[in-house]
A and B are shown apart, each in its own frame.
Chain A
Amino acid sequence: MSTQEETIEQLATREYKYGFETILESDTFPPGLNEDVVRAISAKKDEPAWMLEFRLRSFRTWQKMAEPTWHNLHIEPIDYYGISYYSAPKAKPQLASLDELDPEVRRTFEKLGIPIEEQKMLANVAVDAVFDSVSVATTFRAKLGEMGVIFCSFSEAVKDHPDLVKQYLGSVVPYTDNYFATLNSAVFSDGSFVYIPKGVKCPMELSTYFRINAKNTGQFERTLIIADEGSQVSYLEGCTAPMRDEHQLHAAVVELVALDRATIKYSTIQNWYPGDKEGKGGIYNFVTKRGRAMTDSKITWTQVETGSAITWKYPSCILQGDNSVGEFYSVATTNNRQQADTGTKMIHLGKNTRSTIVSKGISAGFGQNTYRGAVKIGKNAHGARNYSQCDSLLIGDKCGAHTFPYLQIKNSTAMVEHEASTSKIGEDQIFYCRQRGIATEDAVNMIVSGFCKEVFRELPMEFAVEAQKLLSISLEGSVG
């Protein structure tokens, strides 16, 4: 009838922009999971015995565990034994320089707009790119090396910096933590490793780009960031995948360690393939992210979650040291048949620890969006403070928003505040904009951006712009 509806119809049928597949020769394990597969992954990576031990311990634990069911998600049964746990583009195993990168892989990253070439120095972003299971290139290594900053693939870190990996791997997310983290601990293939030495302020944003390409593969990456005393780092990860009819599994683990007076800012723009309008295909995203904050340190998680069929993710902070600060800023959108169960845990152990939670959930289409957050104040956390704000925005009348805040307070001097709101993009708001000459689509973008403002301003500048664009793409066609 009206153009408003027509525009919506057009936009709804728009395709996922990153849904292309790169055809290249790859070295892929046949589907299946058992101890031999775990050993084979370790052997592929030429790992030391302690690393293999860690994997096997994890695998044996995982076999005794059951999938969690407490979440507010409807998930088709996952056949963990029917996927391949390792896939790598066939190329020279060691790259002396980026010129040796497989041209097909390079073209893929170019399509994604990742500044993988060193010429793009001006971008001032160091990038580690993970393609399917392996890390294919890390830029700016030399420049970072001068300051003692280590930024490399996880596999390389196991070889070149075994002491650091041994000391901190599993120190924040133990291998027994949960079903998906334990699976990851057994089969993780690669990921990023960062170490910032004492007192160093990392001179550029560090960034990892993850892409699942091969069919029938899971991606299990592992990231470990250690910020030594008094250091600072800002890290960003982005994710995309081709369009597939079947679901693909992604189960990552991220561990952050902020030693005394260190600051870690970890930002995520998650744009895994969300599946089609009917919910066919799309990534199942089960991620465990946690940071440990020591005295006077600060950890900030910022996430913009627009993709994935299923998002199960709770970036958390253990505020162990006195005066440590944890922050969580999140925008999660679910359109069409997407489901998200996401939030955070703030665990206050030290004195005068402070945490802030700002969660913005946007549901459209048939999307279901759940905020699940826990604030725990330990008995020794005198003067701890938490402020939580959870806002939900509904677009249309077939979607849902749910909020599950858990509070556990064992110290009477603590102050905990929780605010929540649910609102609907009103037809009256859109009409108001249109009456001023602003088209429907622009009006929706404007209203949604306004809603997310408090989160976007936490992102590094250039990524805030990208996040805003992504959000408008993922919500296109949602108003009707």
Chain B
Amino acid sequence: MLLEISDLRVRVEEKEILKGLSLSVNPGEVHAIMGPNGSGKSTLARILCGHPGYEATGGTATYDGKDLLDMDPEERAREGVFMAFQYPVEIPGVNNSYFLKAALNAVRKHRGLQELDAVEFLQVIREKAKLLEMDQSMLHRAVNEGFSGGEKKRNEIFQMAVLEPKLAILDETDSGLDIDALRIVAAGVNALRSPDRAIIVVTHYQRLLDYIVPDFVHVLSGGRIVKSGGKELALELEDKGYGWVDAVAGARA
């Protein structure tokens, strides 16, 4: 088991958002987390990465045998937890490849690997840039500065490709993407699927799952997972709408 979440409760600004969420993820699996706005999807993604402002008030999250909630955000990252942000921030004046080199070397150092020099690093990123059809110029611009919505998301997956995480969490990666950009991003993610990497895809829409086909789909409502199933659950949801899930959840409660 790579990630074991049990009865997790999370509070944001005095408000309880997750109310006892449990989820198990094995290496090699792709899990989709779906749900209406405000159901707690992004909260789940952020608590797993240690976003400040998100406080776990109960339950556990064990990652690779360790207490995930006890680790600093950078430690989680170095241990292989990666989040593709819904809204990647801009860092003016900081070169994109310089930033990524600092990140990669921090991760490598933590894992006891030798830090890469400029030449070695360049080889790594050239190869990965091809995967995401990234223009070379994007590597030398400031981090996300002046990037279009599509470029930002592509840059996130590019970073994922370079950092090679064990657990990748994609937070609404499809939002703001046109169909061509969606295809490129999805192709990048699919190329990164591997038996020792798990991916959690957080999304509002089924559309992304046409391209990144999940092994499991979980529906979140009111801070809990109310329904889990295979990839066909996403299609059923698309068909019947989130109202159907709420009705199921309500009937059960």
Chain A interface residues (CB < 8 Å from chain B): 2-4, 426-429, 431-440, 442, 446-447, 449-454
User: Smallest CB-CB separation from A393: which chain B residue?
Assistant: B92
Contacts of A435 in B (CB 8 A): 49-50, 73-74, 76-77, 82-83, 85
Q: Are B159 and A2 in contact (CB under 8 A)?
A: no
- Subset of 6 A-B contacts with CB under 8 Å: A426-B89, A427-B52, A434-B50, A435-B74, A435-B76, A442-B106
Contacts of A438 in B (CB 8 A): 74, 102-103, 106
User: Smallest CB-CB separation from A447: which chain B residue?
Assistant: B91
Q: How many Å lie between the Cα of A439 and that of B110 in the bound state?
A: 12
Contacts of A439 in B (CB 8 A): 74, 106
Known pairs A429-B91, A450-B142; A437 contacts B103 (CB<8 A):
yes
Interface size, B (range): 20 to 34
Per-position binary interface string of chain B over residues 95-111, scored 1 when its CB falls under 8 Å from any chain A CB and 0 otherwise: 00001101100110010
Q: How many Å lie between the Cα of A431 and that of B229 in the bound state?
A: 33
Q: How many Å lie between the Cα of A452 and that of B94 in the bound state?
A: 10
Contacts of A428 in B (CB 8 A): 89
Within 8 A of A (CB), among B102-122: 102-103, 106-107, 110
Q: Are B94 and A447 in contact (CB under 8 A)?
A: yes
Q: Are B163 and A2 in contact (CB under 8 A)?
A: no
Contacts A434-B74, A438-B74 known; list 13 others, CB within 8 Å: A427-B52, A431-B73, A432-B85, A433-B99, A436-B77, A437-B107, A439-B106, A442-B102, A446-B91, A450-B91, A450-B92, A450-B93, A454-B93
Is residue B88 within 8 Å, beta carbon to beta carbon, of the partner chain?
A: yes
Interface centre among A434, A435, A442, A454 (most CB of B within 10 A): A435
Contacts of A454 in B (CB 8 A): 93
Q: How far is the CB of A49 from chain B (nearest CB, A)?
A: 54
Q: How many Å lie between the Cα of A3 and that of B93 in the bound state?
A: 27
Is residue B19 within 8 Å, beta carbon to beta carbon, of the partner chain?
A: no
Q: Are B93 and A451 in contact (CB under 8 A)?
A: yes
Q: Are A437 and B110 in contact (CB under 8 A)?
A: yes
Q: How far is the CB of A361 from chain B (nearest CB, A)?
A: 15
Known pairs A437-B106, A447-B94; A2 contacts B52 (CB<8 A):
yes
Within 8 A of A (CB), among B18-61: 49-52
Contacts of A452 in B (CB 8 A): 93
User: Smallest CB-CB separation from B92: which chain A residue?
Assistant: A450
User: Binding site of A, secondary structure by majority: helix, strand, loop or mixed?
Assistant: helix
Q: Are A434 and B77 in contact (CB under 8 A)?
A: yes
Q: How many Å lie between the Cα of A452 and that of B92 in the bound state?
A: 10
Q: Are B91 and A432 in contact (CB under 8 A)?
A: yes
Q: Are B89 and A437 in contact (CB under 8 A)?
A: no
Q: Are A446 and B92 in contact (CB under 8 A)?
A: no
User: Smallest CB-CB separation from B169: which chain A residue?
Assistant: A435
Interface centre among A4, A433, A449, A451 (most CB of B within 10 A): A433
User: Smallest CB-CB separation from B74: which chain A residue?
Assistant: A434
Q: Are A436 and B159 in contact (CB under 8 A)?
A: yes
Q: Are A446 and B99 in contact (CB under 8 A)?
A: yes
Q: How many Å lie between the Cα of A438 and that of B100 in the bound state?
A: 10
User: Smallest CB-CB separation from B107: which chain A residue?
Assistant: A437
Contacts of A433 in B (CB 8 A): 91, 99, 103
Contacts of B232 in A (CB 8 A): none
Within 8 A of A (CB), among B152-205: 159, 163
Known pairs A4-B52, A437-B106, A438-B103; A432 contacts B77 (CB<8 A):
no
Interface centre among A2, A426, A436, A453 (most CB of B within 10 A): A436
Contacts of B51 in A (CB 8 A): 431
User: Smallest CB-CB separation from B108: which chain A residue?
Assistant: A437
Top 4 closest pairs, chain A to chain B, by CB? A450-B93, A450-B94, A436-B103, A437-B106
Q: Are A432 and B72 in contact (CB under 8 A)?
A: no
Q: How many Å lie between the Cα of A384 and that of B159 in the bound state?
A: 46
Is residue B78 within 8 Å, beta carbon to beta carbon, of the partner chain?
A: yes
Contacts of A451 in B (CB 8 A): 92-93
Q: Are A2 and B89 in contact (CB under 8 A)?
A: no
Q: How many Å lie between the Cα of A3 and that of B77 in the bound state?
A: 15
Contacts of B74 in A (CB 8 A): 434-435, 437-440
User: Smallest CB-CB separation from A427: which chain B residue?
Assistant: B52
Q: Are A437 and B94 in contact (CB under 8 A)?
A: no
Q: How far is the CB of A116 from chain B (nearest CB, A)?
A: 34
